[in-house]
Structure 1
Amino acid sequence: MKHLRLISIFICMGILFLGFSTKYFEVDAELTNTASASKTGKDPLTIELESFSQEHHIPAVDAKVDRVWKAIPGYNGLEVDIEASHKIMKANGKMDKSKVVYKETSPAVHLEDLGPHPIFKGNPDKPMVAFLINVAWGNEFIPEILDVLKENKTKVSFFFDGSWVRNNPDLAKMIFKDGHEIGNHAYSHPDLQRKSEVETSEELKRTNDIISKTLGIESPKWFGPPSGSFNQQTVEVASQLGMHTVLWTVDTVDWKKPATSVMVNRVVTQVENGSMILMHPTKPVAEGIGAMITQITEQGYRLGTVSELMSEKRVIIKKDGPVPPLSQ
């Protein structure tokens, strides 16, 4: 019994010491912050916010020319907005992580700084994917594809063949009216590797002119070479006309008429940050685009246009459940 009493006494003393120590260290931390504040002229809350900012800073990623993927856009960084956070917390003067305000920081090098290079994908740090739909035929499947995109609140980038726009102005207007991005796909689906600079320029200019006239918009920002046929001359001509040349990361190969489930599975298993997925208005795409949207968002990616993918703006991803499209 005597031993049990001694043990109880020691336990009580330990608990008291622990409580005292914890309180001591809390007070010591406050004194340290106060001392730092007196030296720097900053209040303790500002010092805490600055320390928190250093621990949670995400640096911006510069645009670059990759050996394999060519031009890669930059991606904004993230840091604590100390002034805005301080204004929210100054009422009680205490640090509250749930009230921290963040702001994006811009890269030092931008896509426009790289010069004329083809683009195959977005920034690999950006959890986002874009659909590229090249249109030169397949009119019968366009309404169904548009219905699925509307139902899923998803915006994509359509690349128009100029002669197709001339012959199908109402369909072109329908696509544009639904809020999708419009790109240039040359005028007559040429093999641009075999075209001269003058011929290439004429193909792209005629397409921009018919798109602008039909839809009442400025010239497209993005150019998609027909059949992926291009060379450096093609890229430079597009650049002179104010357009970036974009290709793709993942190909549906829908023109080969694969089984829809096979096509969907092949695409969604290849998707990664920054992927651009090429497709056409075909039966497999009309049947499978809804499944692709669902499965890609369930993997944690946002879907959007080429402009949204190439933007340096950060994408915030939910931790639970499917990710809504960026255009929602």
Structure 2
Amino acid sequence: MKLTIKSVISLTILISFLCTSIPASAQGNQPFHFGFKKSKGGKLPSIAEEGFMGILQKQNAIFLGNTGQKELYLTFDNGYENGYTAKILDDLKELKVPAIFFVTGHFVKDQPELVKRMVAEGHLVGNHSWSHPDMSQVSKIQIKDELEKVRVEVEKLTGQQEMRFVRAPRGIFSDRMLGVCNELGYINVFWSIAYRDWEPKQQKGWNYAYVNVMEQLHPGAVLLLHSVSKDNAEALKKIIVDARLQGYEFKSLNQMEMKQYR
């Protein structure tokens, strides 16, 4: 089939029309997996090359604290209990370190006493969704339902009336999803220190966890640790003690003053 100049122009106009007709809502649904260039030698990590820095800035999501201060924010993801959260809480209590635990519906229902203990000992409980779905792929109503179930159940257990912080399951997010969480009164929390620690059958010893965390320390860091990790539970006390020896102070997310994106 031979294309005439007229038909080529018509086809070009049609393609242009179709491309510009994609609604903004569809563009805002593009999913991203949170990732970053790791810190080395105390230098700041970066998300500049990941393609979503503008979205996090627009939605006021947390990735870093005050990068001009040697402060650390300790966060745990609690999807389910693997026998180590009590030890983690013991060490935090002994060393007087605040943390936030992002819990799922399964954890809340399965471990009510641990959730009560978190709040009673001065920690924050954050929202990690009820059923741990990819929230970039569900509706606004479903997002609200996922988060509200967790908030209500935690309040019933602990009396914690305010739940300010949310963490996207598996670190998958979209502009729309972050915006919906904002509308519901949440601050989206990501991280600037992490390693592959969430596989119980792939534990490599406490020193492996210790080295992975300590090599990434930097001012204003938000640490992500999974409570199912035996390595994390065994390394936590030494991480805290040695970080303090380097001049770092552990703070609660409620104390975060600013963030800088790089």
Measured against the shorter chain, the TM-score band is: 0.7 to 0.9
Give the Cα separation in 1 of the matches to 2:154 and 2:82.
Answer: 17
Q: Name the residue aligned to 2:241.
A: 294
Return the match for 1:190 from 100, 121, 133. Answer: 133
Shift in Å, 1:190: 1.0
Return the match for 1:136 from 67, 79, 93. Answer: 79
Shift in Å, 1:162: 2.4
Return the match for 2:230 from 263, 269, 283. Answer: 283
Deviations 1:126-171 (A, max 9, x none): 2201111111212411111111111111111111112321232111
Answer whether contact 1:162 1:187 (CA < 8 A) is retained: yes
Q: Name the residue aligned to 1:238.
A: 181
AA aligned opposite 1:304: K
Q: Name the residue aligned to 1:212.
A: 155
Answer whether contact 1:134 1:158 (CA < 8 A) is retained: yes
Give the Cα separation in 2 of the matches to 1:213 and 1:219.
Answer: 12
Shift in Å, 1:70: 4.4
Deviations 1:62-97 (A, max 9, x none): xxxx957848xxxxxxxxxxxxxxxxxxxxxxxxxx
Shift in Å, 1:195: 1.6
Give the Cα separation in 2 of the matches to 1:237 and 1:163.
Answer: 23
Shift in Å, 1:298: 1.4
Q: Name the residue aligned to 2:68.
A: 125
Give the Cα separation in 2 of the matches to 1:168 and 1:201.
Answer: 23
Describe the SS at the equivalent of 1:255: coil
The structure where helix makes up a greater share of residues is 1
Q: Name the residue aligned to 1:152.
A: 95
Shift in Å, 1:291: 1.1
Answer whether contact 2:81 2:111 (CA < 8 A) is retained: no
Aligned length: 205
Deviations 1:22-52 (A, max 9, x none): xxxxxxxxxxxxxxxxxxxxxxxxxxxxxxx
AA aligned opposite 2:248: Y
Q: Name the residue aligned to 1:180.
A: 123
Shift in Å, 1:266: 1.6
Shift in Å, 1:276: 0.6
Describe the SS at the equivalent of 2:83: helix
Give the unaligned 5+ runs of structure 1.
Answer: 1-65, 72-113, 313-328
Any residues of structure 2 matched to 1:13-162 within 5 Å, and which? Answer: 70=53, 116-162=59-105
Q: Name the residue aligned to 1:93.
A: none
Give the Cα separation in 2 of the matches to 1:165 and 1:157.
Answer: 14
Return the match for 1:228 from 160, 171, 179. Answer: 171
* Greater RCO structure (CA 8 Å; 6+ sep): 2
Shift in Å, 1:227: 1.1
**Alignment root-mean-square deviation, CA:** 2.1
TM-score (normalizing by structure 2): 0.72
Deviations 1:301-327 (A, max 9, x none): 10122222x236xxxxxxxxxxxxxxx
TM-score (normalizing by structure 1): 0.58
